[in-house]
Amino acid sequence: MYFRTSKTVLLISGVVFTLLVSALAGNFNQDFDITWGDGRAKILGNGQLLTLSLDKTSGSGFKSKKQYLFGKIDMQLKLVPGNSAGTVTAYYLSSLGSTHDEIDFEFLGNLSGDPYILHTNVFMQGKGNREQQFYLWFDPTKDFHTYSILWNPQSIIFYVDGTPIREFKNLESNGIPFPKSQPMWIYSSLWDAEEWATRGGLVKTDWSQAPFTASYQNFNAQACIWASNSSSCSSNSSKNSWLTQSLDSSSQARIKWVQKNYMIYNYCTDAKRFPQGFPPECSLA
């Protein structure tokens, strides 16, 4: 089911491309509900494109119809262009309630030409505080790029265009919780956070640029769907190779490259924040 857009394919045959995309990519009408924004979120092109917008009155958001318990979930996003300072585009998995689990991508906007921050976090049993932040190696507003979450019983891996940027391993054997029993929905929203998003809140939103718009396409979930208290993966079919996927040696090298060159914040090295010592996973990861 995995399908990557390719300029070459587009050039070779626009017709074949269109047919393949409609056959293989998810359909936003089938897979998602618009949950808020009073008309500011739109599903277009027969379900192939979704846009969120934000103005001074409101942002907007959507949520998956299905719940998932493990999956490899890909989405292509094109972020708010130009002066996006103060805006936040959040794309995440989450369960419900005060002890919820959550796996987050958040894109913090910036002035034209200044870099977005990709903020990531992992919540277990209602507790986050595991932030890592990155700059991207491309302009995320010019084209669509693929942001993926691999969530299986061994680890959670965040990917950007297929390059792993962060791994959170299952370290339950060391007493560290890992999300594995609460099914999650996929959510996304575009909202304003000018108090903190850009340069820690120094740069405010320029509302004369509104509405701000982010776009989504080519959703793909290879995932265990949770319904009526049971998982579509219970039969344990060996087809689900992502369920046992881990970082091979070339992926290990790439994650090191990203972390060396593009990571701008890591809770595991923020000594001021943890004067009593770093969280236990920091020394085990």
- Binding residues for ligand NAG (CB under 6 A): 108, 110, 114-115, 117, 197-199, 228-229, 234, 236
Query: By C-beta, is 37 or 140 nearer to ligand NAG?
Result: 140
The span from the CA of 117 to the CA of 265, in Å, is 10
- Sorted by sequence, the CB contacts under 8 Å of residue 68 that are 6+ apart come out as 93, 151, 183, 184, 185, 186, 221, 223, 224, 225, 226
CB of 77 to ligand NAG, least distance (A): 16
How does 163-182 read in b/e, with b if 16+ C-beta sit within 10 Å?
bbbbbbbbeeeeebebbeeb
Token pair, residue 259, equals 């972390």
The residue of the chain with the least Cβ separation from ligand NAG equals 114
Query: By C-beta, is 46 or 99 nearer to ligand NAG?
Result: 99
Is-cis flag, bond preceding 164, omega within 30? no
CB of 229 to ligand NAG, least distance (A): 4
CB 86 within 8 A of CB 204: yes
Query: By C-beta, is 116 or 144 nearer to ligand NAG?
Result: 116
Token pair, residue 77, equals 């996003």
CB of 111 to ligand NAG, least distance (A): 7
102 part of the active site:
yes
131 part of the active site:
no
CB of 86 to ligand NAG, least distance (A): 9
Task: Using DSSP, state whether 3 is helix, strand or coil.
Answer: coil
CB of 190 to ligand NAG, least distance (A): 15
Catalytic one among 102, 131, 172, 194?
102
Query: By C-beta, is 235 or 250 nearer to ligand NAG?
Result: 235
Beta-strand ranges (E) seen in the chain are 32-36, 42-44, 49-54, 60-64, 67-78, 87-94, 102-108, 117-123, 132-134, 145-151, 155-160, 163-169, 185-192, 212-227, 230-231, 263-266
CB of 200 to ligand NAG, least distance (A): 7
CB 109 within 8 A of CB 80: yes
Query: By C-beta, is 34 or 233 nearer to ligand NAG?
Result: 233
Query: By C-beta, is 28 or 70 nearer to ligand NAG?
Result: 70
The span from the CA of 37 to the CA of 23, in Å, is 29
Would you please indicate which residues are annotated as catalytic (active-site) residues?
A: 102, 106
